[in-house]
C-alpha cells in the first residue's frame, strides 16, 4: 500500500462518481483493484462492491482490505459492500448496485481490472467540454491489456503499438452496431443514460453490446485520449471461458441475436440497416462455426428481412 498517495480533499465543484465493483472469484486480484481505486486523484466518488457469491476467498480479501485501508485511504467516501447469497450474474448485480448509487456518473469495474490515477478526471473533463450535436452519454478511453502477472500485452486502440486513426466521437450508433469498437472497461456513463434507457437487460447473458446499441441510438460517445484503465486478460475469464464452452457460447450468441433483432426494429436510416447487415453476416458465420443451427436459421431470416428493408430504403432515395 505504500504506493498509494496521501488522501486529497474533495473539491466542492467535483460531481459525484459511482464506482460499481463487481467481483466473482477474483481473490488473486481484488486487492490490487482496490489499491488502484484508493490511488485515484479524483476523490469525490462512492464505492459499491458486490461479491456475486464467489467460491474462492474473494469476500475475505475484500473485507480484509476494507478493515485495513478504508479509514486510511477512503475516509469521507461512502463504501458499501454486499455479498450475494446466490450467483446472479453481472447484469443483475450491476442493476442492484445501480439502484442504490447516487453518482452523476457511473463506472462499471470488474475486480480484476485496474484504474489509473487520472482516469476519472479525464472523463469528467470530457463531459464538461463536449460540444457535439447530441448530449454526451458515454466517455471512453484507451485500455491497456495485461496478463495475470501484470505483464503488458497490448492497447485496445492500436496495431503493432500504433493507434490507427484517432478513435471516433459523436454519434457512434452505426460504428457500434457494425462491429466491436469501444472497450467496455474504459467507459464512464452519465446517469442520464440509465435514467433514459434503464439498467442492463437482465434477460441477456452479457450486457455490453445491448447497452452500446440502446444508449448510442440516443446519446453521443466521446473519446478521451488517455490510457485510463488496465484490463486483465485471464484464461478463465467470463468472456474467454464462454467461447471455450459450446453451451456458454450458444447463450452469448443467442443474446447477440436478440440485440440484433432489437436494432432491426429501432433502425431508421439506410446507414443503420447497412451497419446491421454487416453485423448479421458476421454473427451468421459464428453460428455456423459453433453449430448453432437454430440461430443459423434465425439469422438467415433476419438477413432477408433486413435486406428487404435496405432495398426499400434505397428505392425511396432514388424517387
Beta-sheet pairing, 105-110 with 114-115: unpaired
**In the predicted model, is pLDDT for residue 242 greater than 90?**
no
- Distance, in Å, from the CA atom of 116 to the CA atom of 84, rounded to the nearest integer, reads 28
- Distance, in Å, from the CA atom of 77 to the CA atom of 8, rounded to the nearest integer, reads 12
Q: Which CATH class name applies to 17-233? A: alpha beta
pLDDT in tens, 227-237: 999 999 987 65
**Greatest pairwise CA separation for the chain in angstroms:** 71
- Predicted confidence at residue 270, as pLDDT, reads 97
- Predicted confidence at residue 13, as pLDDT, reads 80
- Predicted confidence at residue 164, as pLDDT, reads 54
pLDDT in tens, 61-83: 999 999 999 999 999 999 999 99
**In the predicted model, is pLDDT for residue 12 greater than 90?**
no
pLDDT: which is higher, 239 or 200: 200
**Could you tell me what percent of the chain has a pLDDT over 90?**
84
DSSP readout, 236-251? TSHHHHHHHSHHHHHH
- Distance, in Å, from the CA atom of 92 to the CA atom of 200, rounded to the nearest integer, reads 8
- Distance, in Å, from the CA atom of 18 to the CA atom of 108, rounded to the nearest integer, reads 9
Tell me which residue has cell 485501508: 69
Beta-sheet pairing, 17-23 with 114-115: unpaired
- Predicted confidence at residue 246, as pLDDT, reads 72
CA contacts within 13 A on the Cβ side of 133: 6
Q: Considering only CA atoms, which of 203, 212, 209, 206 is closest in space to residue 242?
A: 206
pLDDT: which is higher, 249 or 236: 249
- Distance, in Å, from the CA atom of 22 to the CA atom of 92, rounded to the nearest integer, reads 11
Mean pLDDT to the nearest integer, 162-181: 86
- Predicted confidence at residue 250, as pLDDT, reads 84
**In the predicted model, is pLDDT for residue 258 greater than 50?**
yes
- Predicted confidence at residue 8, as pLDDT, reads 60
pLDDT in tens, 138-170: 999 999 999 999 999 999 988 655 555 678 999
- Distance, in Å, from the CA atom of 212 to the CA atom of 207, rounded to the nearest integer, reads 9
Stretch among 156-160, 175-179, 215-219, 255-259 having the lowest mean pLDDT: 156-160
**Could you tell me what percent of the chain has a pLDDT over 70?**
91
pLDDT in tens, 302-316: 999 999 999 999 998
- Predicted confidence at residue 1, as pLDDT, reads 45
- Predicted confidence at residue 2, as pLDDT, reads 45
DSSP E strands, the chain: 17-23, 45-51, 79-83, 105-110, 114-115, 136-146, 152-155, 187-190, 220-232
- Predicted confidence at residue 241, as pLDDT, reads 47
Point out which residues pair with 231 in neighbouring strands: 145
- Predicted confidence at residue 176, as pLDDT, reads 97
- Distance, in Å, from the CA atom of 70 to the CA atom of 142, rounded to the nearest integer, reads 29
Mean pLDDT to the nearest integer, 209-221: 97
Domains of the chain: which residue ranges?
A: 17-233, 245-317
- Distance, in Å, from the CA atom of 236 to the CA atom of 109, rounded to the nearest integer, reads 18
Amino acid at each position: 500500500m505504500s504506493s498509494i498517495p496521501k488522501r486529497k480533499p474533495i473539491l466542492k465543484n467535483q460531481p459525484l462518481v459511482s464506482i460499481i465493483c463487481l467481483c466473482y472469484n477474483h481473490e488473486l486480484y481484488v486487492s490490487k483493484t482496490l489499491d488502484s481505486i484508493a490511488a485515484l486523484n479524483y476523490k469525490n466518488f462512492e464505492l459499491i462492491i458486490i461479491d456475486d457469491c464467489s467460491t474462492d476467498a474473494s469476500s475475505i480479501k475484500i473485507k480484509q482490505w476494507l478493515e485495513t485501508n478504508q479509514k486510511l485511504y477512503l475516509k469521507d467516501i461512502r463504501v458499501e459492500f454486499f455479498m450475494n447469497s446466490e450467483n446472479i450474474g453481472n447484469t443483475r448485480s450491476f442493476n442492484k448496485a445501480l439502484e442504490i448509487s447516487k453518482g452523476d456518473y457511473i463506472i462499471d469495474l470488474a475486480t480484476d481490472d485496474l484504474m489509473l490515477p487520472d482516469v476519472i478526471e479525464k472523463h469528467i473533463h470530457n463531459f464538461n467540454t463536449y460540444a457535439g450535436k447530441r448530449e454526451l452519454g458515454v466517455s471512453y478511453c484507451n485500455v491497456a491489456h495485461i496478463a495475470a502477472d501484470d505483464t503488458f500485452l497490448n492497447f485496445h486502440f492500436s496495431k503493432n503499438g500504433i493507434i490507427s486513426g484517432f478513435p471516433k466521437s459523436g454519434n457512434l450508433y452505426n460504428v457500434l452496431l457494425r462491429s466491436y469498437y469501444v472497450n467496455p472497461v474504459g467507459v464512464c456513463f452519465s446517469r442520464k443514460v440509465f435514467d433514459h434507457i434503464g439498467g442492463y437487460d437482465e434477460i441477456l447473458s452479457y450486457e455490453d453490446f445491448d447497452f452500446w446499441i440502446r444508449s448510442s441510438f440516443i446519446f453521443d460517445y466521446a473519446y478521451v485520449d488517455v490510457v485510463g484503465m488496465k484490463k486483465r486478460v485471464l484464461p478463465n475469464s467470463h468472456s474467454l471461458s464462454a467461447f471455450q464452452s459450446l453451451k456458454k457460447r450458444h447463450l452469448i450468441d443467442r443474446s447477440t441475436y436478440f440485440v440484433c433483432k432489437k436494432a432491426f426494429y429501432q433502425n431508421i436510416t439506410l446507414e443503420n440497416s447497412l451497419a446491421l447487415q454487416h453485423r448479421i453476416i458476421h454473427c451468421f458465420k459464428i453460428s455456423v462455426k459453433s453449430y448453432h443451427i437454430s440461430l443459423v436459421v434465425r439469422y438467415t431470416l433476419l438477413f432477408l428481412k433486413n435486406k428487404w428493408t435496405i432495398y426499400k430504403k434505397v428505392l425511396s432515395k432514388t424517387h
